[in-house]
Structures are given as C-alpha cells and as structure tokens.
Chains A and B, each alone.
Chain A
Amino acid sequence: MTEKPIQGERKMFLTGNEVVAWAALAAKVDIMYGYPITPQNEIMHYWTRMAPKYGKKFLQTEDELSAGFTTIGGVLAGKKAFTATAGPGNTLMQEPISMAEMMRIPTVVVIQQRGGPSTATVIYSQQEVTMTTYGGNGEGFRVVYSTATHQELFDYTIKAFNTAWKYRFPTFVLGDGYQAKMRESLHIYDPEEKGIKLVEPTPTLSRPGQIGVNREPNHIRNTYNTEEELYQIVMGYAKEYAEISPEIIEFQEQDVDDAEIVIVSHGVVSRAALAATQELRKAGYKVGYFRPITLRPFPTERMRAVAANTKKLLVVESALGQLNKLVLNEIYGLTTPIETLLKPGVGVTSEEIVTRIKSLL
C-alpha cells in the first residue's frame, strides 16, 4: 500500500488515457469519480486497475453532474480528487465547475475533447475550448492547460493538481480523443524525486477537532443575497485571478522574431503547426510558431507582442474559430490580419498547413 507507484524515471509507450491515470497516481490523487463517456473511458479503466493497489478509491456515478459534484465533495473532505469527461459530459460538468469556481474548490477535470455539437463523434475535436475556458454561468475563473504530447499530458496532469490546490481555482487538463487513444512514448516519473513539490490538500469540511473547543464550524455557500455582496466577491476573484495569472501562464514559440507569418494553434494541432514551421523554415519561408499552453489565463502579453511583430497570423484549429475568438479578443487594437485554417472536429496535418502558408506568402 505504501509503495510508490512510480520509482525513478521510466520510458513507456502508452495511450494518453493510460498516461492520465499514471499521472494522477504520481500526483498522489486519493480518489477519482467518473461516468463513462468516450473517449475518456480508459482513464477510469486504468485507474480502477491500478489505484486500489495504492489505497486509492474510485466511484462510478450516475452521470457527469454527479461525477462533478462528488468530486467537489471529495475535495471539501481534503482529498485530492478528480474526474474526466468529454463532449456532452463536459456540458454537464459546467454546472459543478461553476460551483467550484464560486466557492474556490480546487477540482481537477481532464477533458478529452470529442466532436460537437451534441453527440456528434466520439473521436476528436478542439470544439470544447469555449466551454472549458468560459463555460457555466460565470466569468471563467479557471485554469486550462491544453496539452499536445503524452509527455505534456503526464507533466500537466501532475501540475494541474498543484495549480488547483495552490490557487484554488478549478483546473482543467484539455486533451482530445487523439491524445486519449493514441500510443506514443514518454517518460513517467515520481515528481517528488525530481524536486517537484506536491501541494498538500487540506480539508474545508470535516476537519478534526471539537466545535467550540478547538475549532469553529465552517459554513460555505455560493448564494448571496445582494447585488453588492456578489459584486464584491466576483471583483475580488477577478483581481486575484489577474494577480496570479503571470505565475500560471505558459506558452511555446519558435522562430517568431523575424517571422512574416506566425501560425497560432494549441493542443494536438500544434504538433502539426510545429512540423509545418520547421519544414517551411528549411525551405526558406519566414514562418513562426506560437502556441498558448494555458488557454485560461491566456498569454496575452506575449501573444500581442508576437502579433505586433509579424505581418500576419494564421490561426489553425480543429474547431470553427474557438481559439480564434480568444486570439481576437487578446489582440484587440492591433491591425495584424488574421487568416484561419479551421476544421471543426477533424484533425489538421502539417501538409495542409504548409500548403496554406505557401498560398499566403
């Protein structure tokens, strides 16, 4: 029971769903709550096989509402808890996450995006960007990591628990069906052996002690009586979110300094964008690559600087402009033209991007 799930560093060849289960174990997660939906199912399959060996728990709930709210219950009890979902399940997940947002409950949710709207395909898309960053009846006080490789899926799943528990904003790992189902190699490791400190969870409710003797009861709520009261709460969160954003924001870029056109993409599509950039550079084209890793908070400052310094942006995504909306919002006021390569629910290859760039230069 006390044995560490991962000792040392090991190279492995896994599916992305398997990677998430390993990462959750490595992050010392106590309990997973989940409801079946493709393409995230195997996260639960691997978790339920591995977790009991290390004294970890699992509950299969009646739907994603319950998966989200039981996750909240687990976190309030002071345990590292998470759930995973996709598509229509993510739609339902927005209700519990809006509560987590309001009550600053450090939930972690892994999303493996599938096609939309509606049931659509169980395969792949990047169509859950808007929902994951700004879903629910709220202001988008969440952290969203968009991963591109299995290594990142492992690294950022571990990081998501630290981010959530450190800042107490709900945190998402935004993957997709391709990442969920494909096999590729990565290094798995014990984060503490690598010097990554894991943030310790603490209980909000059911804390030890005697009421009125050595502790007070905790009363937590998400309902407020007056507009002014709510305004104060929301503005307080907004200020705090803005303050911590520079610590959380992550992005990746290549060859942007002298680029005449910069490809902007995120998640698995950025693999194709990076390959296209490298190929075009070899052929003498002045192309750059920019990729937000955190979609919330967005790397606004750097995005603006990159956009201001180039002649054109090409936004590429497997959605009909969800990343593009974020980018447009962030670079408002600049006059850099934006071209798009938008393929909702369909993968994008480097060849397509290369062809597109050549037609633009």
Chain B
Amino acid sequence: MGKTAKIALAGEGGQGVQSVAEILAEAAYEEGREAIYIPNFGVEQRGGVSIAYLQISDQPIGSPKFQKADIVVALSDRAVIRTQRYVDERTTFVYDTSIEGVEEHLPKNAGRVFGIPAIEVSKTELHPRVFNIIIMGAVIRATEVVTLDEAKTAIEKKLGYKFDENPKLREMNYQALEAGIALVEKAL
C-alpha cells in the first residue's frame, strides 16, 4: 500500500470509536508502519460527537488531520451529519443501519455508501460491549490497513489483562472482529 489511508471514525461517547482508532494505530505501529491517531477533543468532547482521525502509511505522515477521508464510519445520526465534511468522491462512507431517519443526510457525493447492522449484531448475536470491535473488523475489511493477525495482537495487548481473568472474552472479541469483517464483505 503506497499511499496514506485516512480514516475518520465518529460516534457517540461510549461507542468506543477512540479505542478502535487507538488499537488500529497500535496494530499498524506494531507492523512497523507509520501511524498517526488524533482524537477530536475540546469543549465538545463532553456530550458531543466523538471523532477519531487515523492515518496509516508506509511513509512519514504529514498533517495529523485531513480534509477528506478514504473511509468514514458514522455510528449515530449526529455522527452522520458531522462527518459529511470529510467526504468526497473517493470516500467510502459506512453507517450503522439501525440509525433511524438518517437516509436524507447520507452524503450524496461519496464514492460509495453502505450500511452495516453492527449495533444489531452486537446486541443479538454477541454482546453490546464488543460493538466497537465489530466496527474495528469492518474498518479492517473496508481499508485493509492492517492484517487480521496484527489486529488480534493489538487487541490482546490492550485487553489481554481482561482476557486473563475471563478467557471467554477473548473468544468473543475475536468473533466480533470476524463479524465486522463479514458484515462489510456482505455489503460490498
């Protein structure tokens, strides 16, 4: 992969977009690639839309923020609206299908727009707490910025201490990762 992959993840506080970005950045870093992750922060971080800006590349990365993303993942109605500014004709725009009444706000100029039922799958098939890992799987499949193995290693690094207490969690997280990958494959 020659060029820099630019990813914007947006959701409500608690949906875990920042930790997804951080784990992905760690995974890329462990692969020996260049990665920059910067959260949006500010007065808005209390009660506003949470956005994570992530760039992964084989070369040194320029500005930590970007104007247009290669992939945008929006996980709430506010996030869909807020992230339109990062979209152009090369952007893949992913949203969660459980967001109601959002169709009219979906970007018209995006290269590709598709929905995935990540929230629903996390509730019905897995567990709400691994929702963000499903999203991580979706990002991995949509961008191919890191390998599945590296993603697993990075999750292990971040959550390993919890897995040691409860090995079932590890299994659930890996399932979530694969579920996210599958959701994107189906949508493509």
Minimum distance in angstroms from A112 CB to a CB of chain B: 12
* Residue A122, interface by CB 8 Å: yes
Could you mark each residue 18-38 of chain B with 1 if its beta carbon is under 8 Å from any beta carbon of chain A, else 0?
000010011001000011111
What CA separation (Å) do A122 and B48 show in the bound complex? 15
By the criterion CB–CB under 8 Å, are B62 and A183 in contact?
A: no
Measured between beta carbons, the chain B residues less than 8 angstroms from A177 are: 41
* Residue A61, interface by CB 8 Å: no
By the criterion CB–CB under 8 Å, are A271 and B63 in contact?
A: yes
Evaluate whether A271 and B65 lie within 8 angstroms (CB atoms) in the complex, with A13-B35, A123-B42 already known.
no
Evaluate whether A39 and B64 lie within 8 angstroms (CB atoms) in the complex, with A13-B29, A183-B22 already known.
no
By the criterion CB–CB under 8 Å, are B41 and A185 in contact?
A: no
What CA separation (Å) do A121 and B67 show in the bound complex? 19
By the criterion CB–CB under 8 Å, are B61 and A183 in contact?
A: no
* Residue A349, interface by CB 8 Å: yes
What CA separation (Å) do A168 and B131 show in the bound complex? 55
Measured between beta carbons, the chain B residues less than 8 angstroms from A274 are: 62
By the criterion CB–CB under 8 Å, are B34 and A349 in contact?
A: no
By the criterion CB–CB under 8 Å, are A122 and B43 in contact?
A: yes
By the criterion CB–CB under 8 Å, are B41 and A271 in contact?
A: no
* Residue A275, interface by CB 8 Å: yes
What CA separation (Å) do A325 and B68 show in the bound complex? 31
- Which residue of chain B lies nearest to A350 when distances are taken between CB atoms in the complex? B62
Known: A122-B43, A178-B38. 8 other contacts (CB 8 A): A122-B41, A185-B35, A268-B64, A275-B61, A349-B62, A349-B63, A350-B62, A351-B68
9 contacts between A and B (CB under 8 A): A13-B35, A38-B41, A38-B42, A123-B42, A178-B64, A185-B35, A271-B61, A349-B62, A350-B62
Chain A contact residues, CB within 8 Å of chain B? 13, 38-39, 121-123, 177-179, 181-185, 268-269, 271-272, 274-276, 347-352
Q: Which 6 A-B pairs have the closest CB atoms?
A: A275-B62, A182-B38, A272-B63, A13-B29, A347-B65, A271-B62
